[in-house]
Amino acid sequence: MFPARIWREFPQRYRREAAICKKCGKRYFPPRLICAECGGRKFETYVLPDEATVVTFTVIRVAAQQYSDMAPYAIGIVKFDDGLQMMGQIVDCDVDKLKIGMKVRLEFRKVQSHDHHGVLSYAHKFVPKWY
Amino acid sequence: MVGIVGYGAHIPRHRIKVEEIAKVWGADAPSYKKGLLLREKSVPTPDVDTITLSVEATRNALRRAQINPKDIGAVYVGSESHPYAVKPSGTTVAEAIGAVPDCHCADFEFACKAGSEAMFVCLGLVKSGYVKYALAVGGDTSQGAPGDALEYSASAGAAAFIMGTKDVIAEVLHTHSFMTDTPDFWRREHEFYPQHGGRFTGEPAYFRTVTGAANAIMKKAKMTAKDFDYVVFHQPNGKFPLRVGEMLGFKKEQIEPGWLSPRLGNTYSGASPMGLTATLDIAKPGDLILMVSYGSGAGSDAFVWRVTDRINEVRDLAVHTTKLLDENLIYVDYGTYAKYRHKILKNK
């Protein structure tokens, strides 16, 4: 992935920065330039919490080459207390024991390595909450 | 008062037992367990590296420090497994915690004492008034060559410390560094695995350097082993810290809270810093702690810490190190470990 694209997404990928429309209060992750609800262009930044609940998931057993070391792994959609949802990888778990409704914690992880020469991509993944 | 205002650790959940490694290489597991006092070690998954461990450890330190990350004026990450050869780990850590852009940043290297180097520099910057808070991280995803003795110990983990002058948890009373050119362990550029000098890594390297730093700082502080409640040494295996403690006159009870290596392995730059986090987790106000790191090449940084009343207010604001160490573990076999640590050659 081209470094400029990764760099532009650091606020949401690294710090979980979401946006609230100042006009109608609609929340967005990732943030948007124009509110889809009211057309508002002014947003307030806020940080998503580090815990969420699994809404749904699927298990990838035949992975793309760059993710083959992680297979089998789960991709899930999780929901935060404020109603926002986020998609990402669920890791550090037995994929056969995953359940909808389980609590997860967000952890900072490497997402892509781009072989041994490319820029490293980091973001948050979900791990089962245990403390 | 200058010292630690927040501390935290992070450890991968995966573990491999000494027996599992010994089985593959036809080695005698009981003699490794008895000789090195190692039972198992942490294993990083492919999506865990020094940067991710450092970010999670720092977030735990921030939970305890309860400060605005924008007030952190320096970020230093010490490691010998920085993911990039050219590009700092610290910039990603600073960006992830929101300490950018008004921040000084550098990556440190000095084998296993890169983390304590960062701590030493941060204390100096805070004491001089150059910055309000400074972040020091020691962390590694260390590598041992397949079949080498290091493979039984090289593990992963990180510890982070935020240094400051207000609301200090542990005040630094004295520091001392001891350093000579002693080539006991090295990795040349472009080499994947480090090499070492076998028994030479013990005496004269580790034992001479650690006792040199410990004796010098105790002389400077006019203290002896019995004056300390706890002591934390660098722990390349389970045996060395016990032996050096005995040489210096410490009892096992003083060492045990920070003696993590039998069930964690050697987290290199994270080793003695993580031992300090585990010791702070159980320390009481007024307790005195001696910490002595060791980095091959070779040097030791020694610190005398005095725990303050604030420890009781912040201790439980983040997860304790022993909880990360002992609970919710996932054990892997050697094949999975080899895959996770990129020890298997694959077609491009």
DSSP string, B89-128: HHHHHHHHHT--SS-EEEEE-BTBTHHHHHHHHHHHHHHH
Q: Do A37 and A54 belong to one domain?
A: no
Q: Do A13 and A77 belong to one domain?
A: no
B328 contacts A122? CB cut-off 8 A: no
A120 contacts B47? CB cut-off 8 A: no
Strand duo A85-90 + A73-79: pairing:
antiparallel
Task: Give residue for tokens 């002591």.
Answer: B231
**pLDDT for B115-136, tens place per residue?**
999 999 999 999 999 999 999 9
Residue A85: give its domain's CATH number. 2.40.50
Q: Do A30 and A56 belong to one domain?
A: no
The whole-angstrom separation of Cα B215 and Cα B212 is: 5
Q: Do A33 and A86 belong to one domain?
A: no
Residue A65: which pLDDT band, with cuts at 50, 70 and 90?
Answer: confident
Q: Do A30 and A63 belong to one domain?
A: no
Q: Do A85 and A119 belong to one domain?
A: yes
Task: Please answer whether residues A36 and A55 qualify as being in contact, where contact means their C-beta atoms are separated by less than 8 angstroms.
Answer: no
pLDDT at A113 over 90: no
Range of the domain at A117: 49-131
Q: Judged by CB atoms within 8 Å, which residues 83-102 of A form the interface with B?
A: 89, 91-92
Going by C-beta distance under 8 Å and a sequence separation of 6 or more, which residues neighbour residue A110? A120, A121, A122, B46, B47, B48, B49, B51, B52, B83
Alpha carbon of B340: minimum distance to chain A alpha carbons (Å): 7
Q: What Cα–Cα distance (Å) separates residue A81 from each residue in A48, B120, B121, B214, B336? A: 9, 41, 41, 51, 36
Going by C-beta distance under 8 Å and a sequence separation of 6 or more, which residues neighbour residue A97? none
Element (H or E) spanning B218, and its range?
helix B207-221
Buried b (16+ CB within 10 A) or exposed e, B181-203: ebebbebeeeeeebebeeeebbe
Alpha carbon of A130: minimum distance to chain B alpha carbons (Å): 7
What letter would DSSP give residue A23? T
Q: Do A59 and A111 belong to one domain?
A: yes
Going by C-beta distance under 8 Å and a sequence separation of 6 or more, which residues neighbour residue B208? B182
Task: Please answer whether residues B162 and B63 qualify as being in contact, where contact means their C-beta atoms are separated by less than 8 angstroms.
Answer: no
Tell me whether domains B3-169+312-340 and B172-311 share a fold.
Answer: yes
- CATH 1.10.760.10 assigned to domain B172-311? The reply is no
HSE, side-chain direction, 13 A CA sphere, residue B306: 9
Residue A66: which pLDDT band, with cuts at 50, 70 and 90?
Answer: confident
Cis-peptide into B101, omega within 30 deg: yes
**pLDDT for A6-35, tens place per residue?**
999 999 999 999 999 999 999 999 999 999
A125 chain-B contacts, CB cut-off 8 A: 47
A110 chain-B contacts, CB cut-off 8 A: 46-49, 51-52, 83
The candidate with the shortest Cα–Cα distance to B94, out of B48, B134, B150, is B134
Domain-wise residue ranges, chain B: 3-169+312-340, 172-311
Q: Do A62 and A10 belong to one domain?
A: no
Q: Do A29 and A57 belong to one domain?
A: no
The whole-angstrom separation of Cα A98 and Cα A59 is: 10
A52, exposed or middle or buried, with CB in 10 Å at 0-12, 13-18, 19+? buried
Alpha carbon of A38: minimum distance to chain B alpha carbons (Å): 30
Residue A117: which pLDDT band, with cuts at 50, 70 and 90?
Answer: confident
Residue A114: which pLDDT band, with cuts at 50, 70 and 90?
Answer: confident
Q: Do A53 and A42 belong to one domain?
A: no
**pLDDT for A32-47, tens place per residue?**
999 999 999 999 999 9
Rounded to a whole number of angstroms, the distance between the first and last alpha carbons of chain A is 35
Task: Please answer whether residues B171 and B113 qualify as being in contact, where contact means their C-beta atoms are separated by less than 8 angstroms.
Answer: no
The candidate with the shortest Cα–Cα distance to B271, out of B255, B295, B245, B302, is B295
Q: Does B46 touch chain A (CB under 8 A)?
A: yes
CATH homologous superfamily for B3-169+312-340? Thiolase/Chalcone synthase (3.40.47.10)
Task: Please answer whether residues B122 and B74 qualify as being in contact, where contact means their C-beta atoms are separated by less than 8 angstroms.
Answer: yes
Q: Do A55 and A16 belong to one domain?
A: no
Query: Coil, helix or strand for B40?
Result: strand
pLDDT at A120: 95
pLDDT at A87: 96
Residues (pLDDT < 70) of chain B are 348
Going by C-beta distance under 8 Å and a sequence separation of 6 or more, which residues neighbour residue A83? A27
- Range A62-74 average pLDDT: 91
Task: Please answer whether residues B163 and B116 qualify as being in contact, where contact means their C-beta atoms are separated by less than 8 angstroms.
Answer: no
Report how many domains make up chain A.
2
pLDDT at B337: 97
Q: Does B330 touch chain A (CB under 8 A)?
A: yes
pLDDT at A115 over 80: no
Strand duo A17-21 + A43-47: pairing:
antiparallel
A120 chain-B contacts, CB cut-off 8 A: 49, 51, 83-84
Element (H or E) spanning B216, and its range?
helix B207-221
Task: Give residue for tokens 């609230």.
Answer: A20
pLDDT at A69: 87
Task: Please answer whether residues B83 and B237 qualify as being in contact, where contact means their C-beta atoms are separated by less than 8 angstroms.
Answer: no
Q: Do A32 and A57 belong to one domain?
A: no
Q: Does B63 touch chain A (CB under 8 A)?
A: no
Q: Tell me which of B103, B105, B112, B122 is the catalytic residue.
A: B112
Known active-site residue B80: yes
**pLDDT for B60-79, tens place per residue?**
999 999 999 999 999 999 99
- Select the more confidently predicted residue: A69 or A123: A123
Task: Please answer whether residues A91 and A105 qualify as being in contact, where contact means their C-beta atoms are separated by less than 8 angstroms.
Answer: no
Q: Tell me which of B80, B105, B151, B176 is the catalytic residue.
A: B80
